[in-house]
Chains A and B, each alone.
Chain A
């Protein structure tokens, strides 16, 4: 029987993978994909808690809002990445180093 723990473990793994992707990937798009993993780990938690305990549907509503926000965030982030690609012809974060110190 699949219970709350299974969902929480999946979410925790997803969260770790997201953090791993953000901290090791050098391609800006991959980094943004890592961010999506982190957000969806939170979503799974919210929905699982809401489904498996007697606390109402506020967690599922929260997840809906997060999905919408993730789309908005991706739109802004991809616009920025696209603009960088136009100016620099690269989306590798390592090669953007005019700001440091």
Chain B
């Protein structure tokens, strides 16, 4: 017994050296909380510095781990592979940008240290989500992302709509993760294991489980679907996005969605399919077909509802639902090309969506309103903001030469390659619909007369932030080779069978 215990301890200690990003965040969170308790002077700059330092440390250790041989960590609870690391990088990058937003936002002013500590907790949860390979770990990490998200959504305690957003988030979040738990319990009953690799090998060995397993997988989908905000688990999304403070909304629209896709892809590809690194078939009945329908419904509903919105944050919420639908297309394909499409799209979505939200934040802080009509004449009041906003919107639509175009190119080519023509057609039609409401914003900015004509003053740091996001949207639209290579080499998901085979080859 003591031998077993010692072996377990040794394995955990060995795993720690590959958990650098998670350790960096854990230490940063503890430092921030402690410093907040001990130090009583002016904290704003100090706390922001600590948070940025912690995030940069995490990014540095992710980059250091990139390309390491895939392996299982912490007794099979997590896996280290480039796929997970890529999403961790996206999560950390989003948070870096959001922290820079937060400093400039009037929404985030009280209790800054707590805001940062909670934000970093979500990032930690997201890191674990991207690499968990055990049903227990998946449930725990999903909740580790959800619970602090509820707190951030209700961060403005005295603002009515922030309260309301938090309550709606908590109710939908609780129900979705509960339904997912029930689905997991059925999978456990059917296969007798919580380990994803074991799940897939036992399903393959047993056979004939199609219908019950399909039901269990569909129930599990509630949790993933809620995290990525796809139909029919999207109801929370517009209300929470509108009510939460704008930096939080920007964060929620990119980071948890990206790692949600990472977890969904891992659950589906590793647990319920025979994916071998390039192609696979489902082991749980018609799951890909179901996801394809979910994807088509998600983008159609998101785009059609966005048309009627007048509040920009709400419009961007529906647009983010639509983008979840586009990314879902890649997951449906069960191929490495599909995975690459999802990863590529998630990366460019980071730049264009954060850019659009940052413009909304800057304008809303100065005009006191998030309505589209208050963007009238922005082309004259602030030519720079209006120009980059137009570019972000073009990218969200998917027009060349923006990054959004390159992202859609990868997704659609994966879909066509996989032979799902109808889905590709629905996707293209949806992009056309989205053109209408995105250009409605651009038209308001340039063709309508402003109520107030005075120029909008923006600080230098905001200009720099916007320029960086703009540069990302331009560069990945024209010169996307490096990002394409990076995503292509990150599509391998860790699986013990493959690892054993590779070890034999060596």
Partner-B contacts on A (CB < 8 A): 8, 11, 15, 18-19, 22, 28, 31-32, 34-35, 38-39, 41-43, 45-46, 49-50, 53-55, 58-59, 61-62, 65-66, 69, 72-73, 76-77, 80-81, 83-84, 87-88, 93, 96, 98-101
A-B pairs with lowest CB-CB distance, top 8: A38-B178, A45-B185, A55-B192, A42-B181, A35-B174, A49-B189, A99-B239, A42-B182
Which of these, B165, B171, B186, contacts A45 with CB under 8 Å? B186
Considering the complex, give the chain A residue whose CB is closest to the CB of B158. Answer: A87
Residues of A within 8 A of B188 (CB): 45-46, 49-50, 55, 58-59, 62
A–B complex contacts, Cβ < 8 Å, 26 sampled: A11-B182, A22-B175, A32-B170, A32-B174, A35-B171, A38-B178, A39-B178, A46-B188, A54-B192, A59-B185, A59-B194, A61-B136, A62-B136, A62-B184, A65-B136, A65-B140, A69-B143, A76-B150, A80-B170, A87-B157, A88-B160, A93-B167, A98-B161, A99-B161, A99-B243, A101-B238
Interface contacts (Cβ under 8 Å), in number, total 134
What distance in Å separates the Cβ of A27 from its nearest Cβ neighbour in chain B?
12
| CB-based contact B164/A99 at 8 Å | yes
Residues of A within 8 A of B182 (CB): 11, 15, 38, 41-42, 45
What is the interface size of chain B, counting residues whose CB is below 8 A from a CB of the partner?
43
| CB-based contact A87/B160 at 8 Å | yes
Considering the complex, give the chain B residue whose CB is closest to the CB of A66. Answer: B181
Instruction: Give complex CA distance A53, B188 in Å.
Output: 11
Which of these, B150, B163, B175, B179, contacts A88 with CB under 8 Å? B163
| CB-based contact A46/B238 at 8 Å | no
Residues of B within 8 A of A83 (CB): 154, 157, 163, 166
Considering the complex, give the chain A residue whose CB is closest to the CB of B154. Answer: A80
Other A-B contacts than A18-B178, A59-B185, A101-B309, 15 sampled, CB-CB below 8 A, are A8-B189, A35-B171, A38-B174, A42-B178, A42-B181, A45-B186, A49-B188, A62-B188, A65-B136, A73-B174, A80-B166, A83-B157, A88-B163, A99-B165, A101-B308
What distance in Å separates the Cβ of B77 from its nearest Cβ neighbour in chain A?
11
Tell me if B22 counts as interface (CB < 8 A to partner A): no
Instruction: Give complex CA distance A81, B171 in Å.
Output: 11
Instruction: Summarize A's interface: helix, strand, loop or mixed.
Output: helix
Considering the complex, give the chain A residue whose CB is closest to the CB of B239. Answer: A99
Considering the complex, give the chain A residue whose CB is closest to the CB of B178. Answer: A38
Tell me if B147 counts as interface (CB < 8 A to partner A): yes
Instruction: Give complex CA distance A61, B195 in Å.
Output: 14
Residues of B within 8 A of A100 (CB): 239
Instruction: Give complex CA distance A98, B140 in Å.
Output: 32
Residues of A within 8 A of B168 (CB): 99
Residues of A within 8 A of B178 (CB): 18, 35, 38-39, 41-42
Which residue among A55, A80, A83, A96 has the maximum number of chain B CB atoms within 10 Å of its CB? A80
Residues of B within 8 A of A96 (CB): 163-164, 167
Tell me if B74 counts as interface (CB < 8 A to partner A): no
